[in-house]
Amino acid sequence: MNHRFIAETCYAVLAIGHKRGQTRSLLTSALAHIGPRPTGSAPPAPLVWRLKVPTPVRRKSCSNSPHILVIGGAGYIGSHMLKRLAQAGYGLTTLDKLSGGVHHAVRWGALIEGDVGDAGLLERLFAEQSFDAVMHFASSIEVGASIAQPLDYYQNNLAHTLGLLQTMRRYGVHRLVFSSTAATFGEPQYLPIDEAHPQRPINPYGHSKRMVEQVLSDCDCAYGLRAVCLRYFNAAGADPDGELGENHQPETHLIPLVLQAASGRRPHITIFGDDYDTPDGTCIRDYVHVSDLCEAHWLALQSLMAGGPSQAYNLGQGQGYSVREVIATAERVTGRPIRVATVPRRPGDPARLIADPRLAQQRLGWHSRWSDLPTLIKHAWHWEQKGRIAARARLPHD
Ligand code: UDP
């Protein structure tokens, strides 16, 4: 019996109406592994292993628990979010194309390897599993690359999200937690930046996220889709237990680069400009611990599950540190000297970005636990020294 025959049989059974319960689920699952529908006299459909659903690691969910689709769950913030959701016993499915994220970061729930821009894959996914909400972390995040390759950014960050929203609408999934960014504000008009601050992005990355925020607002009015947009300031740090951490390829963010310089993995940290209008001339940013960010996502999800409204929140500490202050703190935490090389400014860097987190505190009850700079750097240092190596050595689904 060849795969073409199996596929035709599955499609035929589905077509004549066996559309309920396990039969449908099993057939859809089988078809997902077999690939697209064979047509006419075309040669047998190739085996398209688009869906890789490995045995979940430490799955804690039970059938009555909510099931969340985590898009980008293999990435930095998404993988930490999986841990938070697993602690609550939620059912989890990660969709990730593993371009930026890594397989071994998905330690809870099922991993489906694929692109959120793949409409057929989304269709099969939503047909097979009913989701209570979607958390969408997957996006391209480099400002410089967005200026050089704007179409890629609008495609990945905007167009793919439109496809996702269409599928969510068709399947009646009407709760979304969306990863947005401080880059939607552009140059600050005042500090700290609250939710009423004008949104005038200054690069395609910021525009792409701002556009999605607008789309979500329109979808709320038209379809009742409830979305919480979380605008991250500077996400940093690592899982306090050392199980997860930052793994960008290539790494462009300050704190992991500073710690790589401390560990000797790179000769020095490059400071992008020391002639800004700040006390020590280097840029000031508002660093927030990744696990605190995940707690905000958790609270946002709870608000949606309880029937709460759409809302955008700015997530930061309300306190900024300069690049030099970050380096000095890292030297204290690691006990190692860090060599520095100063070069001209990086294009598109505002001198200061500081969030006003009061709305999230008041409405979601969000309070950060690990975001003071020494603690945040301590966790990131632990990851740099031990966690990264242990995670790589760990079998993907042990
Ligand atoms: N930065 C730096 N050297 C680096 C990376 C970053 O001086 O190798 C500076 C960057 O110019 C910015 C701050 O550190 O002022 C934070 O940059 P990051 O890329 O971590 O986050 P962003 O603020 O761009 O989201």
- The secondary structure of the chain, three-state, reads CCHHHHHHHHHHHHHCCCCCHHHHHHHHHHHHHHCCCCCCCCCCCCCCCCCCCCCCECCCCCCCCCEEEEECCCCHHHHHHHHHHHHCCCEEEEEECCCCCCHHHCCCEEEEECCCCCHHHHHHHHHHCCCCEEEECCCCCCHHHHHHCHHHHHHHHHHHHHHHHHHHHHCCCCEEEEEEEHHHCCCCCCCCECCCCCCCCCCHHHHHHHHHHHHHHHHHHHHCCEEEEEEECEEECCCCCCCCCCCCCCCCCHHHHHHHHHHCCCCCEEEECCCCCCCCCCCEECEEEHHHHHHHHHHHHHHHHCCCCCEEEEECCCCCEEHHHHHHHHHHHHCCCCCEEEECCCCCCCCECCECCHHHHHHHCCCCCCCCHHHHHHHHHHHHHHHHHHHHHCCCCC
Q: Taking Cα atoms as reference points, which of 292, 313, 304 lies closest to residue 355?
A: 313
Please tell me if the CB atom of residue 77 comes closer than 6 angstroms to any atom of ligand 1: no
Average model confidence (pLDDT) across the chain: 86
Q: Looking at the domain assignment, is residue 257 inside a domain?
A: yes
Q: Looking at the domain assignment, is residue 88 inside a domain?
A: yes
* C-alpha 311 – ligand 1 centre gap (Å): 28
145-199 pLDDT, tens digit each: 999 999 999 999 999 999 999 999 999 999 999 999 999 999 999 999 999 999 9
Whose CA is closest to atom 3 on ligand 1?
Answer: 271
Supply the pLDDT for residue 101. 84
Supply the pLDDT for residue 4. 44
State pTM to two decimals: 0.85
Supply the pLDDT for residue 33. 47
Bridge partners of 227, per DSSP, are: 176
Q: Same structural domain for residues 41 and 98?
A: no
* C-alpha 252 – ligand 1 centre gap (Å): 7
Q: Looking at the domain assignment, is residue 271 inside a domain?
A: yes
42-53 pLDDT, tens digit each: 333 322 233 444
Q: Same structural domain for residues 199 and 324?
A: yes
* CATH assignment at residue 347: 3.40.50.720
Please tell me if the CB atom of residue 288 comes closer than 6 angstroms to any atom of ligand 1: no
**Mutation choice for ligand 1 from 179, 272, 338, CB with most ligand atoms inside 8 A:** 272
User: Of 90, 153, 154, 205, which one is the catalytic site residue?
Assistant: 205
Please tell me if the CB atom of residue 257 comes closer than 6 angstroms to any atom of ligand 1: yes
Q: Looking at the domain assignment, is residue 326 inside a domain?
A: yes
* C-alpha 253 – ligand 1 centre gap (Å): 6
Q: Same structural domain for residues 280 and 374?
A: yes
* C-alpha 341 – ligand 1 centre gap (Å): 14
In this prediction, residues 40-69 reach a mean pLDDT of 49
For helices 3-15 and 21-34, angle between their N-to-C axes, nearest 10 degrees: 150
The domain boundary residue, chosen from 17, 32, 49 = 49
pLDDT surpasses 80 at 63: no
Q: Looking at the domain assignment, is residue 222 inside a domain?
A: yes
Q: Looking at the domain assignment, is residue 285 inside a domain?
A: yes
Q: Looking at the domain assignment, is residue 398 inside a domain?
A: no
What is the distance between the alpha carbons of residues 364 and 106, in angstroms, rounded to a whole number?
27
Give the residue, 8 or 302, on which the prediction is more confident. Answer: 302
Please tell me if the CB atom of residue 289 comes closer than 6 angstroms to any atom of ligand 1: no
Q: Same structural domain for residues 29 and 96?
A: no
What is the distance between the alpha carbons of residues 341 and 362, in angstroms, rounded to a whole number?
42
Q: Same structural domain for residues 100 and 242?
A: yes
Q: Same structural domain for residues 234 and 361?
A: yes
What is the distance between the alpha carbons of residues 27 and 20, in angstroms, rounded to a whole number?
11
From the alpha carbon of 236, which atom of ligand 1 is closest?
20
Q: Same structural domain for residues 188 and 260?
A: yes
Domain that holds residue 40: 1-49
Q: Same structural domain for residues 43 and 166?
A: no
Q: Same structural domain for residues 16 and 55?
A: no
Q: Same structural domain for residues 19 and 145?
A: no
Q: Same structural domain for residues 43 and 109?
A: no
For residue 44, which amino acid is it?
P
Please tell me if the CB atom of residue 234 comes closer than 6 angstroms to any atom of ligand 1: yes
Number of domains in the chain: 2
Q: Same structural domain for residues 185 and 131?
A: yes
